[in-house]
Structure formats: C-alpha cells, structure tokens
C-alpha cells in the first residue's frame, strides 16, 4: 500500500490537502469541470461578458496546475459547447479568438509543467486558426507524461453519442452486436477513464450535455460561486466531499 509522502517532500497544495484530511491516495483519477458563470460575473461587475470569459481562462490556468500538483491524472473542462453557437455572434467570435489566444499563450506553461494537451468535440467545425492552435498544443505536448488536460470545444454529449453510433454503422456492426462497451470504445477519447468527479460553478444543478455517457456515475459537486471566483479552496473542498461519499454504481453497499 502506498505511503503518504513526508511533509518535507509535499508541495504546498498537497500539504494543505493533508491538513484538511484529504487522502492523497484516494483522489479521483479524472475530474471534469463545467466552468459556468463567467458572463454573469462580468455583468455583476459592470463589465462586458467577454471580459468575464477572459478572467475565467486565467482561473483555469491555476486550477489545472493545482490538479496537476495534487496528483490528479486527467482534467477535462467544458470550454465551448455545441449549443453555445446560439449566443450572440460577437460573443461567439470573441470566445473563438480568446480560446485560440489562450491556447497559444499557455502552451509554454503547459509544456514546462509536463501537461499533455488534448481536445474533444467536433473540432473540424472550428475556425482554422483555432484548430491549428489546438493541434499545435496536442503535438507539442504529446510526449509529456503528466496530467492529461482535455479542452472540450464545440462539444456536446449527445453529439458524441451520435457520432459513435455513426462510426459503428459505418464499420458494419449489426444491431445485436452493439453493447455499452462497444459504444464507449467509439467515443471521442475512448482511452480516458470515465470522470470520477464533476465540478460545476455558479450554482446550476444540471449536467448541460457534458460527458453524459461517461459521467453517468460520477459524483457531482456544485458551488454557488461563479467560475472567475474559483480557487484552490474550492478544489480542495470538492475533493474532500468526494472522499466522504460512497460510490455505489447502482449496487447496494452495506
């Protein structure tokens, strides 16, 4: 059984976690985050919505590094949903440019911290500049061995399932051959473990079409605070709550 590293060998977030009673050997392998409330946060502060998204991406950098340093293996974040195209054109265009610029600006930090960048969603439908920036991040960090950071862009959980079914039909599978395992194997990132913990900000109590197949049995933790106010304390509280729950996966646990 692995032993907890000595305090002298722990980084600051690990020390803080242990002080809160968090078991570093019982962390979720895969954390997913719905980063909600950027626009509302900006409006509350008298700013344009896009400035809220810009502040949110700065917060994401810290959350990613926190997850990496505490020992989480996979982090997937909902950056732009397939439904977000319905928003005003100026906001959508601004978000596309913001994600592209962030992908370029943060690549050096990602690579330096051994982060492996990944993307999920219908990437082929994105603007060419954004697509090129994301592909560059994937290629540059492909040999890294640290946390796998997946950006869900133009992503929808239902669309992912539809695409998986289309792949199965194209491959010639008969209806009686279709199983849950087979569908799982044809999702966008079939080699990633299913998320153990889903974090949502801004108080909304819904899945919003995010990883709805993979997240069927993950634990949900919601904070009323909007994403730009998310902090290390929020992450640690989510992890502590996760460890205090009993995951039953539909079974009865005595």
CATH number at residue 35: 3.40.1180.10
> Is the CB of residue 171 less than 8 Å from the CB of residue 194?
no
Residue at 148 is within a domain? yes
Q: Which of 38, 45, 66, 84 is the catalytic position?
A: 84
Residue at 146 is within a domain? yes
Residue at 5 is within a domain? no
42-92: pLDDT as tens digits: 999 999 998 999 999 999 999 999 999 999 999 999 999 999 999 999 999
Residue at 17 is within a domain? no
E-strand stretches of 97-238: 116-120, 148-155, 197-200, 219-222
What number of helices (H) and strands (E) belong to the chain? 9, 6
**Which domain, by its residues, includes 229?**
27-243
* Residue 253 confidence (pLDDT): 63
Confidence band for 254, pLDDT divided at 50, 70 and 90: low
pLDDT at 230 > cutoff 60: yes
pLDDT at 5 > cutoff 90: no
* CA–CA gap between residue 83 and residue 87 (Å, rounded): 8
All residues at 6 or more sequence positions from 168 whose CB lies less than 8 Å from its CB, including other chains:
178, 182, 183, 186
Domain count, the chain: 1
Residue at 149 is within a domain? yes
Residue at 8 is within a domain? no
Residue at 190 is within a domain? yes
Active site residue 84: yes
Tokens of 83: 């439904």
Scanning the structure block, which residue is given the tokens 């994600």? Answer: 99
Q: What percent of the chain has pLDDT over 70?
A: 95
Helix (H, G, I), strand (E, B) or coil at 208: coil
Residue at 156 is within a domain? yes
pLDDT at 246 > cutoff 90: no
What is the strand order of the sheet 148-155 is part of? Answer: 116-120, 148-155, 74-81, 30-34, 197-200, 219-222
Q: What phi, psi does 80 have (nearest 5°)? A: -155, 120
Scanning the structure block, which residue is given the tokens 């959508």? Answer: 92
Helix (H) or strand (E) holding 30: strand 30-34
* CA–CA gap between residue 119 and residue 154 (Å, rounded): 10
Tokens of 9: 């060998």
pLDDT at 4 > cutoff 70: no
Question: Can you tell me the mean pLDDT for 211-239?
Answer: 98
* CA–CA gap between residue 215 and residue 212 (Å, rounded): 5
pLDDT at 1 > cutoff 60: no
Q: Which of 36, 38, 66, 154 is the catalytic position?
A: 36
């Amino acid at each position: 059984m692995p032993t907890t590293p000595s305090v002298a060998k722990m980084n600051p977030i690990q020390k803080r976690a242990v002080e809160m009673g968090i078991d570093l050997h019982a962390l979720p392998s895969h954390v997913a985050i719905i980063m909600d409330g950027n626009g509302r946060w900006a409006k509350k502060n008298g700013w344009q919505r896009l400035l809220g998204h810009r502040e949110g991406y700065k917060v994401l950098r810290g959350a990613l590094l926190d997850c990496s340093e505490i020992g989480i293996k996979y982090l997937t974040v909902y950056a732009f949903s397939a439904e977000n195209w319905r928003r005003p054109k100026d906001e959508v265009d601004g978000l596309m440019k913001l994600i592209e610029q962030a992908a370029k600006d943060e690549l050096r930090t990602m690579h330096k911290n051994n982060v492996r960048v990944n993307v999920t969603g219908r990437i082929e439908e994105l603007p060419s500049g954004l697509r090129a920036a994301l592909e560059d991040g994937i290629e540059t960090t492909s040999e890294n061995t640290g946390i796998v950071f997946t950006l869900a862009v133009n992503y929808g959980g239902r669309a992912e399932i539809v695409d998986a079914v289309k792949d199965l039909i194209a491959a010639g599978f008969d209806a009686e051959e279709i199983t849950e395992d087979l569908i799982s194997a044809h999702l966008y990132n079939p080699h990633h473990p299913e998320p153990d913990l889903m974090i949502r900000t801004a108080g909304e109590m819904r899945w919003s079409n995010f990883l709805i197949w993979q997240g069927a049995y993950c634990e949900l933790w919601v904070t009323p605070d909007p994403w730009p106010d998310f902090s290390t304390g929020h992450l640690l509280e989510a992890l502590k709550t996760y460890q205090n729950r009993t995951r039953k996966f539909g079974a009865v646990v005595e």
